[in-house]
Amino acid sequence: MTSEREARKARMTAAATRRARPEATLTGPTEIVRVKPIRITVDLSPDLYKRLNRWAKETALELELDRLPVAEVVRAFIRVLDDPTIESDVRDQIRSMQ
């Protein structure tokens, strides 16, 4: 009877843990994969901020969008890092800043 009670308690604890962390999904006995987006904060110089916003506004006009949020621009920049040429250019830029 004790092992049955312990097993039930373990199941209830696991269920409570899943309810307490809805942004995480259990994929294995102990592995948790985060599914909730992660927020980042970046400090930009006034010049970089202006350039980023100007680029977003010009691109929105070119694509005939009402507006293009800067967050979408940053997400797109991150996605294009899969291109080896762009990846290399970004690394070169970072090296030159050191």
Domain boundaries, the chain: 2-34, 46-97
The pLDDT confidence band at residue 5, using thresholds 50, 70 and 90, is: confident
Whether the pLDDT of residue 43 is over 80: the answer is yes
**CA 87 to CA 13: how far, in whole Å?**
45
Euclidean distance between CA atoms 31 and 10, whole angstroms: 17
pLDDT for residue 76 is more than 70: yes
- pTM score, whole prediction: 0.59
Chain centroid, CA 5 distance in Å: 41
Rounded Cα distance between 54 and 93, Å, is: 21
List the single range of 17-31, 40-54, 79-93 with lowest mean pLDDT: 17-31
Is 70 exceeded by the pLDDT of residue 20? no
What integer best gives the mean pLDDT of the chain?
A: 85
Q: Is 90 exceeded by the pLDDT of residue 11?
A: no
CA 75/CA 71 separation, integer angstroms: 6
